[in-house]
Amino acid sequence: MKSFAPFFLVAVMLASAFFAPAHGAESAKAAKPDLAKGEASFTAVCAACHGADGNSGTPTFPKLAQQHPQYLVKQLQEYKSGKRANAIMMGFASALSEDDMRNISFWLESKAAKTGFAKDRENVALGERIYRGGIADRQVPACAGCHSPNGAGIPAQYPRIGGQHAEYAAAQLTAFRDGVRKNSLQMSQIAAKLNDREIKALADYVAGLR
pLDDT given for residue 121 in this prediction: 83
User: Is it the case that residue 17 has pLDDT exceeding 70?
Assistant: no
What are the beta bridge partners of residue 209?
none
- Residue 13 predicted with pLDDT over 50: no
Instruction: For residue 10, name the pLDDT band (cuts at 50, 70, 90).
Output: very low
Q: Tell me the whole-structure pTM to 2 decimals.
A: 0.84
In 74-129, where do the E strands start and end? Answer: none
**What are the backbone angles phi and psi of residue 159, rounded to the nearest 5°?**
-75, 160
Within its chain, how far is the Cα of 56 from the centroid? 16
Nearest to 110 by CA among 192, 193, 32: 32
DSSP symbol at 137: G
**176-191 pLDDT, tens per residue?**
999 999 999 999 999 9
Average pLDDT over residues 43-65: 98
Q: Which residues pair with 158 in a beta bridge?
A: 154
Instruction: State the DSSP string of 151-185.
Output: S--BTTTB---TT--HHHHHHHHHHHHTTS--S-H
Domains and CATH numbers, the chain: 35-109 (1.10.760.10), 121-207 (1.10.760.10)
- Whether 7 shows a pLDDT value over 50: the answer reads no
Contacts 24+ apart (CB under 8 A), 33-36: 33/69, 33/102, 33/103, 33/105, 33/106, 33/107, 34/99, 34/103, 35/103, 35/106, 35/107, 35/110
pLDDT value at position 201? 98
Report DSSP state, residue 54.
Answer: S
Q: Provide the pLDDT for residue 30.
A: 58
C-alpha distances out from residue 202 to 14, 119, 125, 207, Å: 59, 12, 9, 9
pLDDT single digits (tens) 114-168: 999 998 888 899 999 999 999 999 999 999 999 999 999 999 889 999 999 999 9
Query: How far is residue 78's CA from residue 98's CA, in Å, rounded to a whole number?
Result: 12
pLDDT (tens digit per residue) in 83-119: 999 999 999 999 999 999 999 999 999 999 999 999 8
* pLDDT tier, 18 (very low <50, low <70, confident <90, very high otherwise): very low
Give the mean pLDDT of the chain: 88
